[in-house]
Structures are given as C-alpha cells and as structure tokens.
Amino acid sequence: MTNQDLLLPKLYFSYGQFMVFDQSVKLPGCDWTDAHFAQGFARRASTACVRTLGEFGHADVRVSAARYVPKDEYVRVIAVPFVVESSVVVVEGPEEIGTERTIKLPSGNYRLVAAQAMAGEEEEAIDLFFERVPQPVQSSEILVRDGELDPSSPLIETAEVAGES
C-alpha cells in the first residue's frame, strides 16, 4: 500500500464496534470490560476493537499508510500501538466473518489511529491511519474525545480474547 488513501468496501458494524487485526490472528475479538467500553477500545498487540459512535450501522472506511491528519468533522479519534506480522491487515465488523476487506502493509510496528465521524443516522465515516514507527508505541491515546467516552487513567492496554475469559 502506498501513502494514498484506499477506500474499502462498506463496513457493517455491530455491537457498537469494529475490528482491525493482523490476518495471522485467529480469534480477533476482544473481551470488553466496562473500563474498555468507557475508553472506546480494547486491544492486543495485533488487534484493535474500536467502539463505534452507534450500536449498529454501516461505515465508509478509508485507510492511509500515513500520519494522522486532524479534521473538524472527527468526533472520536483513538490511537493505539499495532503490530503487523503477516503483511495483511483485516478490517471487519463482528458479524462479517470472512469479508474481503484487507490491506497490505509491510510487517512492523505502527501507530494505528481510528478517526470517526457521523455521516447519517446509522452511517459513519471511519478513517484509519497506519503510521509506521521505528520502535513499538508504548501507549494508546484518545486524541479527540466525545461525550460518550469516560476513560480511566491510565488507559487499559490489554484485553483478553473474547470467549476465553
């Protein structure tokens, strides 16, 4: 993937979340606690489950292999450490198993920024920025916080695999 934006097929998000994960991850779902919900994400090294603005709906997803660029319309922006192992990253909703929505990226350490905006009643726009970094990012950040988030400090940087706890 170049630094050009890539528009992926429309995403169906459900249960208030979507997932971004390395293709090598067999069970990408994270077990959300109340604290994860309050901060807007649950993550592992190569998995990020991000809380959406709505519970169910569709989203246009745009991906950039570049640094995050702020926009006024973003109402929630979360940055997390992310490790690409297989050179293929998958973006999908919890009920979309097997959807062909993948991105090719060089293996390595990234800062993944998920920026969200409303685009209609059950429509969202999600921009994902994959910024390659020489060393692993040490912590997540909430760059733009809407009224639905109430994170603890420090943010929770780990999550159990869904269904295994």
User: How far, in Å, CA of 71 to CA of 1, rounded?
Assistant: 23
- The pLDDT value recorded for residue 122 is 80
Report whether 117 contacts 74 (CB < 8 A). Answer: yes
- The pLDDT value recorded for residue 129 is 97
Per-residue pLDDT tens digits of the chain, which is 165 residues long: 444 577 778 899 999 999 999 999 999 999 999 999 999 999 999 999 999 999 999 999 999 999 999 999 999 999 999 999 999 999 999 998 767 789 999 999 999 999 999 998 889 999 999 999 999 999 999 999 999 999 999 999 999 999 765
Q: Give the tokens for residue 103.
A: 């991105």
- The pLDDT value recorded for residue 164 is 67
The conformation of residue 109, written as its DSSP 8-state character, comes to E
- The pLDDT value recorded for residue 4 is 55
Q: Is the pTM of this model over 0.85?
A: yes
- The pLDDT value recorded for residue 2 is 45
- The pLDDT value recorded for residue 131 is 97
Q: How many CB atoms lie within 10 A of CB 85?
A: 14
- Can you list the domains of the chain with their CATH numbers? 6-161 (2.60.34.30)
